[in-house]
Amino acid sequence: MKTFTRFVCFISLISLTSALTIGSAADGAKEELADGDFKIGPMYTNAPELTVKDGVPKGTLHEFTMDSHDSKIYPGLKGPYKRKVAVYVPHGYTAGTAAPFIVIQDAMTKDSLPKILDNMIHEGRLPAMIAIFITSGGGDGKGSERGLEYDTVSGTYADFIETEVLPRIEKDYQVTFTKDPESRATMGGSSGAAAAFTMAWFHPDLYRRVLSYSGTYVDQQSPMNPKSPHGAWEYHEHLIPMSDAKPLRIWLEVGEKDNGYDKDEKSYHNWVLANERMAAVLKDKKYHYRYVFAAGAGHVDHKAVNQTLPEAMLWLWQGYPIK
């Protein structure tokens, strides 16, 4: 494990008015969070933005189910399946308005992110965005529907979201999604995080903001693709170092005891090493990135997520105009 050149103390990631923050939400000043490498833990506290607050208007959560029989892109690797989708629409959204949005794989944080958005949108700290919580087609790892969707190093999953998911939501719930890639974000944990990065990597014309918890930037791709023989490990091994920098903004977290933390490099299956190297190559290519190493935390550890998610969202949308 490398020595981190910059650390954030425990209290700094509990409060969004930390030493790395200029001004505060309370006095309306602009909050600024730096790029770079940070360490948190081993003690964790839920961020205050997860608490429902009196007087804060709530967005609306719509839910529906998608059937594999209706999909041209993912008709079912091993048979039919269903996937659940939930759509958060912020309070005060006007039908027909092209809205910024975030796509969250595995429907991660469906119970917590709406509260965060309610609070931070109301406080003027985040833009009024739509959030799409979508599950995979099921299973996990090589040979599964989820693995096909999330661990494949290609633009296919982004195409699925663009052509099969977003149009249905627009039709059923009278919302309009912006076409501006700077106004589109994607997020996930584990393979869902790798999928989020893959969406932006192959389609920076569609997505430019990525939020990743315990990203599976390891060799878990199935079927094997000769263009990326080591799966998502290729991102930090070859693809990012050998490509021109793309206009992406990437927030990453990994736990000290994350999956495969004690495996060697030849396994291509060490999440800590993979995320550490992602941060290093992003830094070398001068990307806007923020890497958080969570001491004592495991894989997509809820205690780390619950402490960092509001600040992660704040950093992710930093510089975006709030109306």
Average pLDDT over residues 249-277: 98
**Residue boundaries of the structural domains of the chain:** 10-316
Based on the number of CB atoms within 10 Å of its own CB, is 155 exposed (0-12), middle (13-18) or buried (19 or more)?
middle
Tokens at 174, concatenated: 């009278």
Predicted confidence (pLDDT) at residue 11 exceeds the cutoff of 70: no
Sequence-ordered list of residues with C-beta below 8 angstroms from that of 93, at least 6 positions apart, any chain: 59, 99, 128, 130, 175
DSSP code for 55: T
Helices (H), the chain: 113-122, 145-150, 156-160, 166-173, 191-202, 233-234, 240-242, 271-284, 302-316
Question: What pLDDT does residue 127 have?
Answer: 98
Please give the pLDDT value at position 5: 38
Q: What pTM value is reported for the model?
A: 0.91
Q: Does 2 have pLDDT greater than 50? A: no
Positions of E strands within the chain: 36-40, 60-67, 82-89, 98-99, 101-105, 130-134, 176-177, 184-189, 209-213, 249-255, 288-294
What class, spelled out in words, does domain 10-316 have in CATH? alpha beta
Question: For residue 300, which of 157, 139, 192, 197 has the smallest C-alpha distance?
Answer: 192
Indicate the pLDDT class of residue 30, thresholds 50, 70 and 90: low
- Count other C-beta atoms under 10 Å from residue 254's C-beta: 31
Collapsing DSSP to helix, strand or coil, 207 comes out as coil
| Lowest-confidence pick of 23-27, 73-77, 147-151, 313-317 | 23-27
Looking at residue 13, what is its pLDDT? 39
Q: Tens of pLDDT along 34-84?
A: 999 999 999 999 999 999 999 999 999 999 999 999 999 999 999 999 999
Task: Tell me the pLDDT tens digit for each residue of 227-259.
Answer: 999 999 999 999 999 999 999 999 999 999 999
Confidence of residue 18 (pLDDT cuts 50, 70, 90): very low
CB atoms within 10 A of CB 322: 13
